[in-house]
Structure 1
Amino acid sequence: MHREGLLPLILAAMAALIVAAGGATITDLGPWYQGLTQPSWTPPNWLYGVAWTLIFALAALASLAAWRGAPNANTRTKVIGLFAFNGFLNVLWSLLFFRVQRPDWALIEVAALWLSVAFLIVYCGRFSKPAALLLLPYLAWVSVVAALNAAIVQLNGPFG
């Protein structure tokens, strides 16, 4: 790989690591979370780390594919902004759910996160099919998280 091609790869990986670290730092599986009634189909705790690691790796590759496939500088700038906004929404969900301990607010926010991923798929898919395909597991996982979030709200609410 040429030196010019390495920098975007490093930046995409760093961005994914920053978002992952932000979410992981905020996530607290302590007594409050353990005290929540969970639906019977809740995935085991170990699966979350595996799933999010895979999701962030695929998202980094998707951002790189989209950036490289973008037809012009303006579109590349939009790609960066859309992925950055998605990363913000990802961390915000963890903040609302785990730190603020408001799964009801997180349920509203996860809809925005889901729409953000869906929009990335549609937008990037116009000029990079690989980017869109790499984001499909992210959309699937956020769908699972949203359903789990809704079940937790139903089983444990009201909050606050």
Structure 2
Amino acid sequence: MSTRKLSVYAATTTVVAGTAAASGRAVNTGTAWYRTLKKPSWQPPPWTFGAVWTPLYATIAWSAGHAVLHTRGRARRDLLTAYGVNLAANAAWTWMFFARRSTVAGLVGTLALDTSNADLIRRTARHDPAAARALLPYAAWCLFATALNAAIAGKNRP
């Protein structure tokens, strides 16, 4: 692998890892607030989230690097902006749900992330269909998270 490719993938991995770390700082399932929330019977066990998010973050980093290597100029800048917006939305929803302790704010955050995912996949597909396909499991998991967040919000209305 060339030095340029290694540099691109190192950069995208660093940014995505930073997003994962920022998200992780907000998540605390041990609080009394979270433990007392009514949750649907179909919520996965807690260990599932780390097991799922780890490979999803890896595919986001790979997709971003691959897409960057397949674009130039304005298209590259626009794509990098879309990835940046998406990663910001990704981190924001955990803060909205866990740090603010708001199921409704979390739901707003997941809906924004779903919208960003659709836009990111559409933009990426224009230049790099393989990178766009790699984002599909991420988008699917986020849709599941939205359904889960909506169920929790519905069960815990004030």
Identify the TM-score tier after normalising by the shorter chain: over 0.9
1:143 Cα deviation (Å)? 0.5
Assess if the C-alpha contact under 8 Å between 2:20 and 2:57 holds in 1.
yes
User: In structure 1, what is the Cα distance between the partners aligned to 2:14 and 2:24?
Assistant: 15
Task: For structure 1, list consecutive stretches of 5 or more residues without a partner in the other structure.
Answer: none
User: In structure 1, what is the Cα distance between the partners aligned to 2:67 and 2:157?
Assistant: 40
Assess if the C-alpha contact under 8 Å between 2:124 and 2:132 holds in 1.
yes
Question: SS of 1:126's equivalent?
Answer: helix
The C-alpha deviation readout for 1:114-138, integer Å capped at 9, x for no partner, is: 0101111111101101111100001
The C-alpha deviation readout for 1:45-83, integer Å capped at 9, x for no partner, is: 00100111111100001101111122x211111111111
Letter in structure 1 aligned against 2:70:
G
Counterpart of 1:126? 126
Counterpart of 2:44? 43
Counterpart of 1:113? 113
Letter in structure 2 aligned against 1:114:
D
Counterpart of 1:103? 103
User: In structure 1, what is the Cα distance between the partners aligned to 2:154 and 2:41?
Assistant: 13
Identity %: 32
1:15 Cα deviation (Å)? 0.7
User: In structure 2, what is the Cα distance between the partners aligned to 1:24 and 1:147?
Assistant: 20
TM-score, length of structure 2 as denominator length: 0.96
Q: Does 1:28 align with 2:20?
A: no
1:99 Cα deviation (Å)? 0.6
Letter in structure 2 aligned against 1:89:
A
Counterpart of 1:54? 55
Task: For structure 2, list consecutive stretches of 5 or more residues without a partner in the other structure.
Answer: none
Q: CA RMSD in A?
A: 0.9
Letter in structure 1 aligned against 2:142:
V
1:151 Cα deviation (Å)? 0.2
Counterpart of 2:81? 81
Letter in structure 2 aligned against 1:45:
P
User: In structure 2, what is the Cα distance between the partners aligned to 1:106 and 1:120?
Assistant: 20
